[in-house]
Amino acid sequence: MIALLRRDLRLALRTGGGFGLGLAFFLMVAVIVPLGVGPAPQTLSVIAAGVLWVGALLASLLSLDRIFALDYEDGSLDLLATSPLPLEGAVVMKSLAHWITSGLPLVLAAPVLAVLLNLVPNAYFWLILSLFLGTPALSMIGAFGASLTVGVKRGGLLLSLLVLPLYIPTLIFGAEVVKRGAMGADVMVPLAVLAAITLGTWAALPWAAAAAIRINLR
């Protein structure tokens, strides 16, 4: 299973692998929003948490269709499904590889970009923590959506429509953590719910995704 993770990371980092796509998108959102909204620091600091979370969510969405579609097209998915590797484990590893290449860079870049949006200083820690806890859920939910649309050519639109509603709880609680953190209020409740969503998706969705892939391979 580690071999699959390493292969996926290596593929992502090589030419055409899509590493940096999400990060570049995230960067553009954070740079463009102040230009569109106007430079007033008051306004920016109000919307900063929401904009950063929406940016992270859309950036994660960009690379979802690659999770299984590329392996489906070149036949690797058939071969993976017939290999000794459990398909559920393959889903976990591919989601993890997606998070490392698209979610983790966002977590690391967020504090830098938050400066552009004039985020309140005491919210930085909560921004990083909420993204760190929340983005794995985005990758796993996305992998589930990708497994449902794996046989569909140009399934990007369908994938987005399926996945976006499932992203909403993560977005709401993630942004809520940062907002409460900025106000100095208690963040435990949204933080706990955010962590629960991530743990729940990683516990349940690999089975659902593997089942969907098996049906799509028939």
Distance CA 212, CA 196 (A): 24
Distance CA 173, CA 177 (A): 6
Task: Kindly state the smallest distance separating residue 210's Cβ from another protein, in Å.
Answer: 13
Stretch that binds another protein, among 68-76, 99-107, 127-135, 157-165 (CB under 8 A): 68-76
Report the residue from 32, 79, 185, 192 that binds another protein according to the rule CB under 8 A: 79
- The identity of residue 121, as a single letter, is P
Residue 20, SS3? coil
Report the residue from 172, 193, 196, 217 that binds another protein according to the rule CB under 8 A: 217
Considering only residues 4 to 33 of the shown chain, the ones binding another protein according to CB under 8 A are 4, 7, 10-11, 14-17
Stretch that binds another protein, among 61-69, 78-86, 111-119, 161-169 (CB under 8 A): 78-86
Residues near 199 by beta carbon (within 8 Å), at least 6 away in sequence = none
Q: Which helix (H) or strand (E) holds 152?
A: none
Q: Which helix (H) or strand (E) holds 30?
A: helix 21-37
**Binding of residue 218 to another protein (CB under 8 A):** yes
Considering only residues 81 to 120 of the shown chain, the ones binding another protein according to CB under 8 A are 81-85
